[in-house]
Each structure stands twice: as C-alpha cells, then as structure tokens.
Amino acid sequence: LLPPSTATTELQYSRASCSTTLAVMAVTSFDGQFSFKQDSLARLGRRDTPKMNSDQYAAFQNSPFMQGVRKTEDLCWTFTCDRDEKRKKTDPSFKPSDDDFSTQKAHEFDRCINYYKVLGIDEFAPLDEVKKAYKKLSLVYHPDKTTGLSDEQKEEYAAIFIELKNAYLTLGDNATRRQYDRDRDRDKASFEVNGFKPKTRAQFDATEVLKKLQEMQKPPGKVIDVPVAVKLEKFFYGGHKAIKRQKRVKDFGSFKHETRIYRVDVPKGAQEPHEVTFRQGGDHHEDTRPDTVHFKISSKPHAIVERKGEDLVMRSRVGLGVQAHTDPYLSAETPSVTGRHILLWGRNPFYMNAPSGQGELRVQVKGEGLTPKGSLHFTCRAGLAPQVPAAEPPRSASSASRTSASSRRPGGPNPDDDQVIVTIKHMQTDGKLFLRVGKAMTIGEIRSKVMDVLGLPRSATVRMLQQFSGGFTPFPDKQPLGAIRSMNCAGTAWTGVAFNAARSKEFLKDIVSMSDTPAFQAKLASVAKAAAAGTSNSLRLQAEIWTSLSTILPEYGLEPVLSVMQERVAQALQQVQGLPDATHLIKRIDALNDAAKSSQKGVSGHPGGASAATSTHGLREFLQMHKLGPPGGFKDSAAAAKGSDKRHGRGGLCEAPAMLRRQARRQQGEPTCQVVLEQLGEAMTLFTRPTCSVVFYTNLHQSRSSSSSSSSGKFLEPRPTFAVSISSPPCAKKKAHFEWINLKASLVPLLRMTAFHMFRACRGILPRSLASAPAAAGESCEDPSREMPWKRMGDEAFKQGDFFMATTFYSRCLEEMPPDDVGSDPLLVAAVLSNRAACLAKVGHFQASKEDAQRSLEKRPNWGRAWSRVGLACSKLGEAQEALAAYKNAVAFDPSGANVDALSSVVRQLQPPDIDRAHAEKESGNTAMRANEFGMAVACYTVGIALTPPEVKAAVPDGVPPDDEHALLRSVLFSNRASAFCRLKNWQNALADGQVAVDKKGDFVKARNRLGTALLGCGQPEKAYVEFAHALKLE
C-alpha cells in the first residue's frame, strides 16, 4: 500500500474527528446531566495532555505547592507512626502493615465524622473496646429496643443507630480503621502546614451516654434521711419549702462541695412526716451512684394548737367569764393557726343550769382542721376569765429557784459554780428531763448529752426549741447556754428516762459510793446526835439525809427532789432483785434506810414528836377560826368518833359546812355541753389589705338530745351557737406578722358587734323588742275580719316535721274557708288539700291522702303536684295501674326530676322489660313532641326508658363487658327526652339526659346536638362548642 497523501491524511483526520464528535454527542444526548466536562468534549473533542520537559518538571517539583505537599505527607506519616506506637501500647494484638492502606475498605467512611466520639471511645482503644461500646449503645438505640416510644423518638433513635453502625464498620476493621486514621491525619497535617481547617459534620456523641450507662451499672448509693421541721401553717395552708444543703459533686476527676437548694412542696393537710425523695440527688461517690436524699418533713410544735391527724386541738381552754352562768348569751374568741381567728356567740347552755358557776363547753368546728374533713376542737370554760394567750409564757420561778438551789446542796459531789440544772420538756409527750450542765456548754453539746442520758440511737432526732411570738424555732447548735434554764424539745418521742436492771445497779452503786464519803457520814452522825438531844434543827437535818443524796439525780436526767429520790431507789431495788451480784448493794441500801428512819424519831419515840402535836393543834385552831371545823368543836367530835363508821367520826370534818357544800357540788357534777358547728353558706371575701375571708358556722343542724347525767357530770342540750372564722392565708408568712396584728385589731371588733346580726338565724335567737304601741291599737281584738293564718302555720309545722299538727292546721283552714258558691279561691283550696294529703301520707294514712289529692284535682285538674300525691298514695295501696296513670299525668303537667324518677320506678315495678312497648312509647313521645305537648313527651320517653331491657354489666372471663344491643334505642330515648326538657327550659335535666345519650352511643349526631343545646342553656358555651364540633365531624 502507498502511504497516504497529505490531503488524504487530512480527510481521514477530519472524518475521524467527526466520528469522535458524533459519538461523544450521542453519549451526551443520552446523559441528562450535561455536565461541563461532557459539554466541553462535545464541542472540542478529545485532546491529549501535553507533557512537561525535564526543566519544567524540575521547576514544578521545586515549587511552593509541591514543597507543601511533601511537607504535608511527611507530617502525615509522622502522625501515623505516632498513632501506631500508641495503639501498640493499648492493644498488644495490634500489628500494623503497609498492606493495610491498599486493602479494600470494609465501609465507605466519611472522614469528616469523628467515629470515635460516635462510639464514645478513645482514639487508641483496642478492637474489643470498640465492640463493647457498640453493643452497649445498641441495647439503647436499636430499633427493636424502642418499643413504646413516640414516632418522633423512634426516628431519632434510628438515625443514631445508623451512625453507630457506620462507626462500628469503620473502626471494627483494622485496615479500614488505619485508612480512616490516615485520612484524618492528612487533614490534620494540612491544617498545620497550609492552615486549611478540616471539614466537620454534626454527629452523635455517645460520651455522656456511656458515662450514664456506666453510672447505672454502679451499685446504688445510700439513702440519707433528712428530718426537716416546718411551721404547722405550712401543713394547714400548703406551700413549698426551700432547703439548703451541702452536696459533694464531681469536678473534672475530683470532688468539691457546693450548696444546692431543694424545693419541697407540702400539700395542704399532708400526713406527717411528709416524705419527699430526690433520687440520686445527694453526694457523689467514686464507686457508687449518688446518694438518694429522703426528706421527712414534720411540723414544729405550735404555741396555740396541736395537730391530731386531720384535726387541730387547742392547747389551752378558752374562758367564758367568771359570771358566765348568769348571762343568757355567751361570747368568746380564740386564735388558731397564724392567719385564723375564731369568734363564738350563741345561747348560753349554762344559764340557770350551773349552780357552782362552773361548766365546760366542748366546741367542734368542722372544716377548720388541716383538711376539709378535719375539725378544730377547743374547750370553753364557764367560771374562767377570758385570757389572751401570751407571746411567751413566763418561766416558773419555783423551778428556777429549785434548780439553782439543788446545785448548792451540801453532801453532794460539790459541783462547780459554773454548773446549773437545766429543765428540758418534750412538746408532744410532756416528758421532762433534768440535766446538770456547765454554763459554757453549747446547745449542740446539751443535745448530745440528752441523747446519751436517754439512750437514744444516733439516728434519732432531737431538736432544742426556743419560743417566739409565732411559735417555736430550733436553737443554733453553736449558741452557748448562757442564762437559759429551761428548753423545749421535739423530735423522737420520749416520756422520761428508762431504767433497766443494769442502769438501776449503776444508780445504786453511785448512791452507796456517795454514802461512804466522810462528808455524808459526818452529816448522818450530826443528825443522830441532834435528834437525841431534841434540838430545834433536827427536822431540817433529818430531811437533808436523803436530800443530800438526791444531788446525783441530774446525772440520770431526774429531778433532784426527795420524793423522786425515794421513788427511784424503790424501783431500782425491785429491778436488781434477780441479779446474783446485787445482794451487797441491797444490804447497803437497807442499812441506809434504817439509819434514816431511826434518826427521824422524836424525843417521845414517835415520828414527829412534840412538833407534830404542835402543828396539829395549830391546824385545828385555823379551821375553827374560819368556821371550817365540825359544828360541835374538835373535842365533841373526838368523843363521838368512837361509835361512828365515818372516816372522821360523827360530827367530824366530814360534816363541816364547807365539806358538805363541796360534797354536794361534787355529787351534782359540773355541767357539760357538746356543740358541733358546720359551715353556713359560702365563704365571703372581704376586700381588706391584706385580703381575708369570713366563714360562718352554726349548729342549727345538731339534734337536741335530752339531757342525761352520769358519774362525771350533767350533760346539757346544745343551744343555738354560731361562729365566725377570719382567714387570711397571706398573713401566715413571718414577714406579714404585723399586718395580721393590724388586720385583727381593726376587723375583729367590727365583726364582734355586727357579724352575728347579719343572718336571720342569728337574729332569731335574740330577745325581741317590745312594740311602741299595742298590736291592735284602735281596733277591737274581737274583730271577725282578722283571720288566723292556718295555712302558714301548717306549712311551718310541716317543715318542722310535726305532721299531725300540720294536718290539724290545714283542717282548720278548710273549715273556715267559705263554701264554693260563696266565692272561695279554688287554687287555695287545692293547695291546702294537697298539703294535707302530703301530711296524711307522711303518717301512713294513704287512703285519706288519696281522697284529699283527688279532691284537690277537682279544683285544679292540671296540677302536677296533686297528681303525684295520688300516685304516691296508689302505689302504697297496691293500685299499680292507677299509680302509673297518676304519675304519668304528674310528669305531663310538672316534669320535675322527682316525678320522673317516681314514674320510672313505678313502671319497672309494674311491667317487665318489653322492647316492642319501648318502641311504641317512643313513637307516642314523638307524636306528643309534634303536638307541642312536651310534658307528655317526657312521660312517654320515661316509660320507654323504663321498658328498655337493662344493660348487661356483669363481668366476663376476659374482663370486657359485651356490647349493648339496645344502645341505639337507649340513646334515642334519652336524646329525645333531653330535647323535650330543652323545650321546657329544664336545662339541668336536659344536660343529664344528653350526657347519658352520648355515653350510650357516641356516634349519634342528634345526641351530640342536644347535649350541646343543653350546655348552652346551662351557660357552658365552650363545652357546647366541643359537642357541636363532634356532631359536625360525624355528619
């Protein structure tokens, strides 16, 4: 073949180029993206890349770009080598190889995502740790573990699980992990060389999740019980309590203490102790989960009232006055909790019923307790002057002098001058404790000593309280004792020091040791010598024998007095009787008793000696001087005592005038009255500042039982009594204390004068004023035109339950009415006959009741009340058909709730369920509705409802009751009757029927519409809108 010419070559080249262009265009035509590269190929064709020569290549290799590339690669290789060395230390099984970078990837990873944070592991973690982290997180985010979550949460967990799976596929394969690490190292090296920040994407971080899972696997922490005392008002009104407490928390690997405020809600009337738990809200620990804080909230002792369950009991009695038995009316007032004040007024039950001037009125005010079911109990005392409770009761001077003197008694352990006796009283049990402590001791040290003396465990709660104007508050532990000599205590209940056999033995040992001291032996000898000589100070020395030993009693929490010493020694001797090594102690105590008894005999050999005779003579002279002795004198009474069986002989002290009067009063007993007050009406808000409300209480509902007597006294009938409670919850706070005082000062006197005249019931028990002129001034009392209000008198007797008297009054009214032809009022005659029929039915005369009701219908045929009287009488007489017809007419003329219920009851008693009859009554009701006879329609629908078979409500094995096959008919009947009630403007009955209709058949449109109409009539447009919306949605 000849070589082609230049033209041929160009032709062939052009043809080849055209073919290539056409082929590229063909490919491009089938590609819908039309990228820039494809477009360039279509226009220009394929071109060969020109190659660089050696000079150009050398210049390119020395360019800054290539130098940066080489520097980046070198730094990347350094990072990779360092990573491999660190992985070898954490994972001995790791063996890096250069072939790992050429191996096919197990997963197409995204180097912009930090898969180590996705799994919550370290970058040098071994493969086993990767697998464990993936398994832990899969148990949380796997789709099979998201049952019960919302759709949105399920989608979120599914996306997180995909990230977890990608991370595991990348890091779980060694070669893929090394390639992923090298790509991330290259990005890191490029950032350090060129300053290009690596790209990152939002990802899931499992670090916190794994920490929580790790914490959950730790054993639970301790449960810390924290007792908290709040004011009683917090339980009365409800509220919250902010509690500050130090908490130990983690802080970057170490621990620190911070103050946390716990907010605890105290519901109104909560039981004590009210417990609130903050799970894992306590101190943090290294090996366990955080502690659980368990607050036990109880009330502080209140100065005025005491809590007993849901009730409040007044601590002190309320005085009615010294001469209260001479006043026909009583009045008293007393504070309750802070923000409450009670005023009491009413008829005095002790008026002319308390010869001694003494009496006890026990008052119970329902609704004034901690809950609506609780009550306030307090006792009013006749013969006791009214007292205003002091802000702080004075300390007993006798106890102070006794405690101060006891520390200086001779013969004891000679306490230092800085030691005193402190009296501690428990607020709830009234138990008392006497301790010898130093003046420099703090309240916290005294509290520890109280726990040691009582033998209480360290978990017990002991709070030393101080009193202020609003109640009690705890002493600070660091406060010194100072001049305090008596304190109140609360917390764990105790009544006194409990002595067991071991403690009694220790007590007797201390007494024997003290009796062996030279000081006590010298005192015993001086007493014996003085008694033998008959000196004047012998009695004082005799009393000091055991009194000197009683100085040891405060070490055991007992009062250092002679009577307590003797009682405790006797009890200790009984408790140590069974101990084998207590024989010596018993003999020593008996010897000590014999020495004391022998020293107490006088000169004549009898106890008391001449001094006893002298004191007896002075006592007789005192009684005779004040005319308290026997009528004939002590000489005659002594002579007559031999033949008498009385304690003091005939004519002795038992027959003294004062003793006889006292005995008569005791036999008669003090009168007692129990009053139970209940709320009268609703609370009335007063627009004061601060806002308060007033609630009235009365006992008019209380039955007046006949007075009876018992061994303890005479019980009186309750008289009409009223109370007013002033309540201002904002004043219960401490900062509003003065506002409450000012409010009471301005409001209480006003209410005391006017509050009990606001109600008619209160004014009814007041004495009525005399008229300024005679009732029939200028007129003759024999005026025949003045008629007796027999009907009104009968109505009042009927309301009071005196049906026989009411029947008599109605009969007199009928007798004095003019005949029918003269012009009597037929409506009045019908009303009187109907009322007498009701009275006769109440006393069981049903035949006479029926006759009066029928006579009433003759005067007023369309009166529903008379028809109901006929229906009641016929039902009691067994005339079922007549009763049914009468009640049906009663409903037709007066479709009240009582008549409807009576008609339904008669139908159910008379006829069995009949579905066909029910349908027939429904059609009759529809006919009556179209004729605008709405009362008759109600009667027909009521009969239809009563004839419908009852719904099956018995339980079945699977717990699901069967469907009601007559639900539609039942819903239609109730719905139609609701429509009839709506036409009659009887909205409440229409609302009840509409609700039943919707409950029976929720998809019945008419039932929804009629329920909405009834709601509109009852003034509830929002609920009516909902029902109309349901109906519109259904149809």
CA distances from 875 to 17, 532, 782 (A): 118, 102, 47
Q: Quick check: 487 and 450 in contact, CB under 8 A?
A: no
Highest mean pLDDT among 555-559, 577-581, 962-966: 555-559
Beta-bridge partners for 953: none
pLDDT tens for 642-692 read: 444 444 544 555 666 667 766 666 666 678 899 999 998 888 888 888 889
pLDDT tens for 699-722 read: 988 865 444 444 445 788 898 999
Q: In this structure, what DSSP letter does residue 731 have?
A: G
Q: What's the confidence (pLDDT) of residue 105?
A: 83
Q: What's the confidence (pLDDT) of residue 915?
A: 85
Q: How many helices (H) and strands (E) does the chain have?
A: 35, 22
Half-sphere exposure of 978 (CA within 13 A, CB side): 28
pTM (2 decimals)? Answer: 0.40
Alpha-carbon 478 to chain mean position = 34
Nearest Cα residue to 868 out of 840, 883, 851, 887? 887
pLDDT tens for 539-577 read: 555 566 777 777 888 888 888 887 788 788 888 887 887
Share in percent of the chain as helix, strand, coil (round to 5): 50, 15, 35
pLDDT tens for 519-541 read: 777 777 776 666 666 554 445 55
Q: What's the confidence (pLDDT) of residue 376?
A: 94
Highest mean pLDDT among 22-36, 782-796, 856-870: 856-870
pLDDT tens for 188-222 read: 888 777 777 777 777 776 666 766 666 656 777 78
Listing DSSP states for 375-406 in one string gives EEEEEEEETS---PPPSSPPPPHHHHHHHHHH
The least confident of 180-189, 606-615, 729-738, 1015-1024 is: 606-615
Is the bond preceding 273 in cis, omega lying within 30 degrees of 0?
yes
The least confident of 44-58, 192-206, 391-405, 640-654 is: 391-405
Alpha-carbon 592 to chain mean position = 59
CA dihedral 398, 401, 404, 408 (to 10 degrees): -120
pLDDT at 40 over 80: no
Q: What's the confidence (pLDDT) of residue 253?
A: 67
The least confident of 180-189, 459-468, 756-765 is: 756-765
604: how many CB neighbours lie within 10 A of its CB?
Answer: 12
